[in-house]
Structure 1
Amino acid sequence: MEKHILEQYTDLQQEERDMVRRIQSVSDKLLNMEMSGYMVADSVTCGKKGKKPLGTRTIKGIPIPEYDKKRSALKTYKMQLKLLDDKLLQMLIEVEKYIQSIEDSRIRRIIRYRYIDGLSWVRVAHRMGGKHTADSCRMAHNLFLRDEK
C-alpha cells in the first residue's frame, strides 16, 4: 500500500470532522431562528381615515427563503456525511487489513498511531515510549514504505 493511500485515509477523517462541524453550525442557526420566533419584523398601518392612520401593527416572521436554504444545506450536508462515513469505513477496512499484514510489530504500531489515530510524529514517539523519538519513528516509517515499493 502506498503512503498516499494511508494519508488519504487521514484526510478523509479530517473531512468527516469538518462536515460534522458544518452540520452543527447550520443546525444551531436553524434552532436559533426557530427559538427566537422571528427573524424579520415590519411595521404596517391598518388603514387611514383621511390623512391619519388608524393604527399600526408589527408583523414578525421567519424569512422563509433563508430558512429553506439553511434546511436544504443541512439535508445536503447530512447526505454528504453519510457518503463520507461509508467511504471511510471501506477505506478503514483496507487500511486495517494492510496494517495487520505487516510482520514487524513496531512498524504496525507506528503506522496505526500515525494514520488510524491521526497522531503527530511527536505523539507517536511518546506512545511508542522508551528510546523512540519523533525522527526515529518517522524514519522507520519512511524506510518501511520505501522498501514496500
Structure 2
Amino acid sequence: MKKTLKQYNSLIKEIKELNEEIERMKNKKYSYEKDSVTGSNSEFPYQPMNFNIEGIVTIDTTVKEKILINRKYKCEEIKLEIEKFISDIPDSLTRRVFRYRYIDNLEWLPIARRIGRHDESYPRKMIHDRYLEKID
C-alpha cells in the first residue's frame, strides 16, 4: 500500500495530462499534407517533371483515444482507492497525517508542526510507519 500511496500526486498530474491529450486529439481530426512527386509528360518526349500535391488527410484517432481514456480511468480508480484508504483510517490524528503527507504532499516537518509537534520523526515513525506495519 505504501507504493500506491506515493503515487497519489503523480496520478493527479497524469490525469490532467491525459485529459489535455484527449482534448488535443478531439480537436485534431484532419491534417493538411503537402508533398512533391516526380512524373513525366504523358506523350513523347517523356521529360521528367516535378509535381506538387497537397490535400487534407483524415486522421483516425479512435483507437489511441480509447487507450488514453482507459488509462485515465485506471488512474482515477487508483486515486479513489488511495482517498478511500485514507478516509477509512479510524484514528483522526493518523488520518490527518496521511492526508497531509499524500494528498497535500507535505514534508514531515510541516506535518509535525500542523499536529503540534516539533520533531519530524514523530508523525513519520510513531504514526505513519506504525499504522502501515499494523495493516500489512
TM-score, structure 1 normalization: 0.59
Q: Deviations over 1:78-103 (max 9, x none)?
A: 122123323432442233112xx11x
Q: Is the 8 Å Cα contact of residues 114 and 121 (structure 1) preserved in structure 2?
A: yes
* Structure 1 or 2: more helix by fraction: 1
Gaps of 5+ in 2: none
CA contact (8 A) 2:40 2:49 kept: yes
Question: Residue 113 of structure 1: CA displacement?
Answer: 0.8
Cα 1:41/1:107, change in 2 over 3 Å: same
Q: Where does structure 1 lack aligned partners over 5 or more consecutive residues?
A: none
In 1, the alpha carbon distance for the partners of 2:127 and 2:39 equals 77
Query: How much identity, in percent, do the aligned residues show?
Result: 18
Q: Give the total of aligned pairs.
A: 133
- Change in 2 beyond 3 A, CA 1:45/1:91: same
Cα offset, 1:72, TM superposition: 2.2
Q: Matched residues in 1 for 2:9 and 2:3: separation?
A: 10
RMSD (Å) for aligned C-alpha atoms: 3.8
Q: How does 1:1-149 map to 2 (within 5 A)?
A: 5-25=1-21, 27-28=23-24, 31=27, 34=30, 37-38=31-32, 40-44=33-37, 48=41, 49=43, 50-52=45-47, 56-62=51-57, 67-68=59-60, 71-98=62-89, 101-102=90-91, 105-126=92-113, 128=114, 130-142=116-128, 144-145=130-131, 148=134
Identify the structure with the greater strand proportion.
2
| 1:23–1:74 contact (8 Å) kept in structure 2 | no
Cα distance change on mapping 1:44 and 1:89 into 2, 3 Å: same
